Amino acid sequence: MKRTIVRFKNSAFRDFIRRNAKYAPIVFFIGGFIFDTLTLGRIDRTYDLTILCLHMTSLSIVLYLYNLVDDGKWKNTFLERYEEYFPLAIQFFFGGLSSAYVIYFSRSVSLSKTASFFIILVLLLIANEFLKKRISNKYLQFGVYYFISFTFFTFMIPVFLKELNTTIFLISGVTSLAVTLVLLIFIYGKSPSTRQEIKLGKMIIIILSIYGIINLFYFLKLIPPVPLALDKGIVAHNVTMKDDTYLVSYEPEDSFVFWRKHKLDFAYVPDESVYIFSSIFAPTDLKKAVFHRWKWYNHNTKEWEITEDIGYNITGGRDGGFRGYTYKNNVKPGEWEVQVLTNEEHVLGVIKFEIKEHLNGEPIAIKTERF
């Protein structure tokens, strides 16, 4: 009798989910992305850290619960009535974590050569929409779980250790590998149905392959040095500092170009200095050396030529990012780009502009803004 009453109480929601099974994942997907966009801010903020840790912990728990359903583990327990929601929960947490990573990466001013990794995250986010039909595939489950956990730890460990370098990245990868393998072996030992569906050796090879590919991406410098991100990059006519505030003088863009404040064409007067101002987000107390690599495009050789590397240190903590600038004298007209790099030469972003000589004597429209 009690079991019948419980079913009645949950029947309305259950019936709604079943009637809208085709559209429910889309609604949860869009809602989760909008929620993350509106609420997530700084990766080192307590709220963000709590949400991401809860997502990762909940995903691990639900993955365990779901994989023991076919073994009848939850029969005659309170979990039995929620079994059909486990796949939706897995999809929700996959989507929540991947959308958070996309949001953090997309806030960088330039993805530059790291766009390939960003595209993988976006594809994972979109693919999550179709995972419900394949979520029972355990190879897929653990493959996606490992990729998500790897990204999770590459965000979290630098935030907690307040340090970012190759050693920290390798520690993050090994930590995620250990967590995934422990969960996989634990489920494998508890679930006869899992032992029938997958070969443990094959699954471990898949996970190690993902581990190897991500490390290859890192050493080829195709992964951005998370959790650092380039927030602003401006080519300017002058940069000065007053009372911990930078005054940046630049040529404002036309009003209809609403997505960018400054022009990409720099009106150059002979003997003038060209400044690059950059603002970099870094978690609180994380210290890191960065530098600007100035490059000029040689149309004769069809190659970019490095003209100079100019470095400075950053310390995280400001919402607006750590600010700094470099400048050059006696520059050539033509296409330029300034790469913002860590000392390991991982790209934070690229600031592109074109220098054109200004010879007609007309005044140049300049706007000065505080940062």
Q: How many C-beta atoms surround the C-beta of residue 89 within 10 A?
A: 18
Residue 237 in tokens: 């006519």
Tell me how long the chain is: 371
Rounded Cα distance, 5 and 356, in Å: 77
Burial class (CB in 10 A: 0-12, 13-18, 19+), 317: middle
Nearest 5°: CA angle at 351, between 348 and 357?
Answer: 160
Max intra-chain CA distance, the chain: 91
**249 Cβ contact list (under 8 Å, min separation 6):** 236, 237, 238, 239, 366, 367, 368
Tokens 């059909």, residue located: 84
- Closest of 179, 28, 19 to residue 91, by C-alpha: 28
Look at residue 273 and give its three-state secondary structure: coil
User: Please, are residues 215 and 173 in contact by the beta-carbon 8 Å criterion?
Assistant: yes
Rounded Cα distance, 173 and 347, in Å: 20
- The dihedral of CA 52, 48, 37, 281: what is its sign? negative
Q: Which helix (H) or strand (E) holds 143?
A: helix 138-161
User: What pLDDT score was predicted for residue 46?
Assistant: 80
Q: Which helix (H) or strand (E) holds 57?
A: helix 46-67
Rounded Cα distance, 75 and 73, in Å: 6
Look at residue 128 and give its three-state secondary structure: helix
Rounded Cα distance, 82 and 96, in Å: 20
User: What pLDDT score was predicted for residue 346?
Assistant: 84
User: What pLDDT score was predicted for residue 173?
Assistant: 92
Burial class (CB in 10 A: 0-12, 13-18, 19+), 175: middle
Residue 82 in tokens: 């929620």
Domain limits, the chain: 2-219, 229-370
Rounded Cα distance, 229 and 107, in Å: 7
Would you say domain 229-370 falls under CATH 3.90.1150.10? Answer: no
pTM of the model: 0.75
For residue range 187-225, list pLDDT tens digits in order: 999 999 889 988 999 999 999 999 998 899 888 887 777
User: What pLDDT score was predicted for residue 71?
Assistant: 87
Per-residue pLDDT of the chain (371 residues; tens, 9 = 90+): 444 444 444 566 566 656 665 555 556 656 666 666 677 766 777 888 888 899 999 999 999 999 998 888 888 888 888 888 888 788 788 877 877 777 776 655 455 555 556 566 666 656 655 555 555 678 888 888 998 899 899 888 988 888 888 899 999 999 999 999 999 999 999 999 889 988 999 999 999 999 998 899 888 887 777 777 787 889 999 998 887 788 999 999 888 877 788 888 899 888 889 999 988 877 767 777 789 999 999 999 999 999 999 987 665 555 555 788 899 988 889 999 999 988 888 888 889 999 998 877 778 888 999 88
Residue 339 in tokens: 């790469």
